[in-house]
Amino acid sequence: MIWELALQSHPATPCPAIHTLNVTVEQLADGSLRLHYTLSGDLAQVRIPAPQSPVFTDGLWQYTCFEAFVAVKGETAYREFNFSPSSQWAAYAFSDYRQPVESPLILAPFPPCGGRAGDGGECSEQDSQSTYQLDATIPSTALPAAAPLQLALTAVIELTDGSKSYWALKHPGERPDFHHRDGFTHEIWS
């Protein structure tokens, strides 16, 4: 199955530099999820982290970062996956709202995520718009085993002036909060 989904900026953090932020979600035959994020807008105003080694790195959400939150419908536990344009990644498990489990989510090996701006690492510009794309795969072994799954797809976009905008399928609160379960709006049935 393949789904095309659009993220919205939180009303408290508008970002005129970004025109659209879309995510294509594909459920692979082995149960893995392939995510393809496409950011369109004035990329000259977006701070894109420089390439790094593709390793677990905490705190990626403090910069431009693409994320996925995954839970089993009706359960309080969930997992968070962060993918940086730098190719760094993070994965966390929570037993309930913002309650991390005692031992971190161990994933080895975790497929690297990768981004590209237009062709050949340059921005592709048409009518003063640019696009940035990031691909990531969440292996089935990192996902909860039960179904249906609920997803919250999100992103933090940092601009060159240091301001940030917060993007999600749904923003249930007055302030950005990607952990809020009412934001887990996309369902996937195995």
Return per-residue pLDDT of the chain as tens, 190 residues: 899 999 999 999 999 999 999 999 999 999 999 999 999 999 999 999 999 988 889 999 999 999 999 999 999 999 999 999 999 999 999 999 999 997 666 565 566 566 665 433 333 333 445 999 999 999 998 999 888 999 999 999 999 999 999 999 999 999 999 999 999 999 998 6
Instruction: Indicate the length of the chain as a whole number.
Output: 190
- 184, burial (CB in 10 Å: exposed 0-12, middle 13-18, buried 19+): buried
pTM, 2 dp: 0.90
The total of structural domains in the chain comes to 1
- 139, burial (CB in 10 Å: exposed 0-12, middle 13-18, buried 19+): middle
Q: Strand ranges (DSSP E) for the chain?
A: 2-9, 18-27, 33-41, 65-72, 78-83, 89-96, 99-100, 114-117, 130-138, 149-158, 164-168, 186-188
**Residue with token string 């419908």:** 73
The domain in which residue 150 lies consists of 2-188
Question: What's the CATH code of the domain at 12?
Answer: 2.60.40.1190
